[in-house]
Chain A
Amino acid sequence: EPEVTQTPSHQVTQMGQEVILRCVPISNHLYFYWYRQILGQKVEFLVSFYNNEISEKSEIFDDQFSVERPDGSNFTLKIRSTKLEDSAMYFCASRGQGGSSSDTQYFGPGTRLTVL
């Protein structure tokens, strides 16, 4: 069964450093998302991406964040200068196109980001 994969599973970084989180969405999906979940809190939307551009972003997704689809399979989230409050679990999700079943977003296993 196709699934979303994410690497690394755990990333530890120093405050102020840049990090890139990687995702491989399900192969025939066209819509891509990043969400985050701070420990003990709800899953929060960060950004959605379609047709090589951002279609929607939240207030959390400020100038320190960027997304890219560098090739036909990967989808990345970059944080330019990490802060302590960026520590969270980051989830990538993807969905297909066409029909009601395409509304479903399928999530990856997540990358745990720890900023020291």
Chain B
Amino acid sequence: EDQVTQSPEALRLQEGESSSLNCSYTVSGLRGLFWYRQDPGKGPEFLFTLYSAGEEKEKERLKATLTKKESFLHITAPKPEDSATYLCAVQAAGGGNKLTFGTGTQLKVEL
């Protein structure tokens, strides 16, 4: 069974204080690893897809990296508007297209 574990559950940062969120996964062959952002009461908003170990993607203050066992979402000099829950999900190769999600990291960035 595919599993995704995210840590920490919650993270409080000061504006400008960089940090990383972790996503550990076990999957029977990885087709893709996805990062989403979710604001309260809203649907997941797509950020990145990573396919193979060593791959990196960047968007503004966010950078996602992938190894064979985990992915990191690095947040550089965060701003209050980066406050949200960040979700990691995996899609297994060879099976259907379903996403298996972790429980997320709730990030709060304070002034």
Contact = CB atoms under 8 A, between A and B. Distances in A.
* A complexed with B: yes
Interface of A: 4, 31, 33, 35, 41-45, 48, 55-56, 58, 89, 91, 95, 100-101, 103-110, 112
A43 B98 CA distance: 11
Contact of A48 (B36, B51, B87, B96): B96
Nearest to A56: B96
B42 A109 contact: yes
Contacts of B100: 45
B98 A48 contact: yes
Contact of A109 (B43, B98, B103): B43
The binding surface of chain A is classed by DSSP as strand
Contacts, number: 61
Interface of B: 31-32, 34, 36, 41-46, 49, 51, 87, 89, 91, 95-104
Contact of B104 (A42, A44, A104): A42
A114 B40 CA distance: 17
Nearest to A44: B101
Given A109-B43, A110-B42, 17 more contacts: A4-B43, A33-B97, A35-B99, A41-B103, A42-B101, A42-B103, A43-B44, A43-B101, A48-B98, A55-B96, A55-B97, A56-B98, A95-B97, A101-B49, A105-B34, A105-B99, A107-B45
Contacts of A31: 97
Contacts of A105: 34, 46, 97, 99
A55 B98 CA distance: 10
